[in-house]
Amino acid sequence: MTGTDTTDLGIKTEPGNADYRRRWGGALMPSLGQPELALVSGKGAHVTDADGREYIDFLSGVAVNALGHAHPAIVDAVTTQISTVGHVSNLFISTRAVDLAERILGLTGRDGRVFFCNSGAEANEAAFKVARKTGRPHVVTAEGSFHGRTMGALALTGQPGKRDGFEPLPGGVTYVPFGDIDALDAAVTDQTAAVLLEPIQGEYGVRPLPPGYLKRAREITAERGALLMLDEVQTGTGRTGYWFSHQDPYFEGVLPDVMTLAKGLGGGLPLGACVAFGATAELLAPGQHASTFGGNPVCCAAGLAVLDTIEADALLERTRSLGARIAAAVERLGHPLIGHVRGAGLLLGIVLTMPAGTPVADAARDAGFLVNAVAPDVIRLAPPLVVTDEDVDALIEALPKILDAASAVPAQGGNP
């Protein structure tokens, strides 16, 4: 379908948002509900929908488009690679995968091994299998955590609403209250294979672990012979102003046994990684795990372009400074709907004083900004790391009117 009849004369125009909503509803499974906009083009932090309206993108595909849309470094890398060799499977060596694995390990400064896959859920599935290979049956995760929607990753996810309807899931998982170190201490035993934590819970309101929690978690796991696994799917690849958020001094130098990555790593292409360090990297033996598309040369070329650009353009430093500026500017507005801002770098949660997240996100979209209500009372900001000062200033300037508009809409629900 290339157009829609709009007059009796048969004049055709390109399909708009309404056309795509109708077609989406007829062709795609409604597993996440009906989207409102069809985005058809973008450049940097700007996107255009099927009706021709432009928005400033402060969500970047849920922290995926680290370099924004159509970044020339990614376009060049992908174009060159797909015109050279596009796919080799895991029966042959992907040279781009070797390059990227070495690069990731170099950024950690540690010895280890990398397993490449296509998503964060798959990366956490691999981590789950690594945990099983310890011979211990038990894994601990946090309430409110989100580790993916495949069956193993869903079993690790500490949100009952997402697990409902899919039991029985793989067993042996205990969920402890978020930030409660005593509960974690009590849950980890000599039968615990691993503790899996997000340094910042992105999908449950952008909640950073409390000060000192991760350090004590490292001590507890070391004492009992369990692995410490960090889900850096959303927080990794520069999103918080460090290559990996556990490198932030806030986390006091904690080193995980396993780290999972995805989202920003591929800069818009499907790319995930499970990174294991030291002896943990040897737990999965040949033939015990695989991914046909994992380490795809095209995706890995994009990943290398992302890392090269972040380094060359000093985006880690900019992410830290810009995130701090956004947080301070939002709180300075003093709007009655703003409680405070939490998070790190360019993964921020505007905590509202009432559950008005959806009306705020809707009003922001109407004003030309894409954000999302990650919780009933939290708005998530995760713009591309290349977002400009002008784009940030535009959002800050527009935010009071956005909040005023949302305040006139009845609140919906409570905090999850």
- Per residue in 139-163, pLDDT tens? 999 999 999 999 999 999 999 999 9
The one catalytic residue among 57, 116, 178, 263: 263
The one catalytic residue among 231, 257, 377, 391: 231
Which pairing describes strands 372-375 and 138-142: parallel, antiparallel, or unpaired? unpaired
User: What does the CA dihedral 203, 207, 208, 210 come to, rounded to 10 degrees?
Assistant: -140
Q: Judge whether residue 1 has pLDDT over 70.
A: no
Whether 129 is a known active-site residue: answer no
Six-digit token string for 86: 């596009």
Whether 263 is a known active-site residue: answer yes
State residue 10's pLDDT score: 53
Core vs surface per residue 226-264: b (16+ CB within 10 A) or e: bbbbbbbbbbbbbbbbbbbbbbbebbeebbbbbbbbbbb
- Distance (Å, whole) CA 133 – CA 112: 17
How sure is the predictor about 415, in pLDDT bands with cuts at 50, 70 and 90? very low
The one catalytic residue among 115, 146, 244, 251: 146
What average pLDDT does the segment 101-130 reach?
98
Helix axes 297-312, 315-332, angle to 10 degrees: 70
- Distance (Å, whole) CA 392 – CA 242: 20
- Residue tagged 């109708």 (tokens): 22
Q: Which domains does the chain have, with CATH numbers?
A: 36-65+314-407 (3.90.1150.10), 73-312 (3.40.640.10)
- Per residue in 281-295, pLDDT tens? 999 999 999 999 999
Which pairing describes strands 138-142 and 173-176: parallel, antiparallel, or unpaired? parallel
- Distance (Å, whole) CA 114 – CA 98: 9
State residue 2's pLDDT score: 37
Whether 146 is a known active-site residue: answer yes
- Residue tagged 């948002």 (tokens): 17
The DSSP bridge partners found for residue 116 are 273
How sure is the predictor about 9, in pLDDT bands with cuts at 50, 70 and 90? low
State what percent of residues in the chain have pLDDT above 70. Answer: 95
The whole model's pTM is what?
0.94
- Residue tagged 């080799």 (tokens): 88
